[in-house]
Structure 1
Amino acid sequence: MEATPLQQLSIDRYQMALEAAGIGIWDNDLLTDTIHLSGYAYELFNLPKGVQPTLEELLAHVHPVDRERIHAKLKDCFDPAIKASYDNEYRIVDPQNGQVLHWLRAKGKVYFSEVNLPYRFTGTIQDISNEIRARETQQKLLSLVDNSIELMSILENDQTNSYLNKAGMEMLGFDNMQQVKETPISNLHTPEDIAFVEANVLPSVITTGRWSGIMNVRHLKTGEIFPVYNNTIRIDDPITKEPLAVGAVMRDMRPEVAAQKALEESEKNFRTLVMQAPVGICIVKGEDFIVEMANDHFLEVSWKSREEMHGRKVADVFPEATSQGFIEMLRTVVNTGKPFYGRETEVLQERDGESRTVYIDFTFQPLFEADGTVQRILDLSIDVTDKVLAKKRLQESEEELQKRVEERTAELEKKNNELEEFTYVSSHDLQEPIRKMKLFREMIYERDYDNLSAFSKEKFEKIGESLERMSTSLKDLLSFASLEKQETKEKVDLNKILADA
Structure 2
Amino acid sequence: MQALNNVFHFIRGSGEMSMLIRGFDWSQSSLGKPEQWPLSLRTVLGIVLNSGFPMFLYWGNDGICFYNDAYIPVLGKAGKHPSINKTYKEISPETWHLVSPYIMQVMETGEPIQLENQLIPLSENNKKEDHFWTLSYSPVFDEAGLVNGVLASGIEITERIQAVHKLEESEKRFQNLVQKATVGIIVMSDENMTVEIVNDAYGKLIDKSPDELIGKSLFEIIPEAEPYFRQIANKVRTEGKSFSTFDQPYSIHNEGNRKSGFLNLICQQYKEPDGKEGIMVLCQDVTEQVIAQKKMEESEQRAHSIVESAPFPIGVYIGREMRIALANQAIIDVWGKGNDVIGKLYSEILPELDNQEIFGQLDHVFTQGKAFHARNQRVDIVVDGRLQSFYFNYSFTPLFDSEGHVYGVMNTAAEVTDQVLARHKIEEIVAERTKELAEANSNLQRSNAELAQFAYIASHDLQEPIRKVSTFAQMLETNLQKTDERSLHYVSKIKDSAGRMLVLIRDVLAYSQLSKKAEMIKPIRLGQVMEEVKNDLDLLIEQKMAEIIYNDLPVIEGVPLQILQLFANLITNALKFSRKDVSPVIAVSCTVLEKSRHAHYQLPFTKGTYYELEVKDNGIGFRQEHAEQIFNIFQRLHGKNEYEGTGIGLAMCKKIVQNHHGHIYATSNPEGGAIFHVILPEKQLRIPE
- TM-score, normalized by the shorter chain, greater than 0.5: no
TM superposition score normalised by structure 1: 0.44
More helix by share: 1
Higher Cα radius of gyration: 1
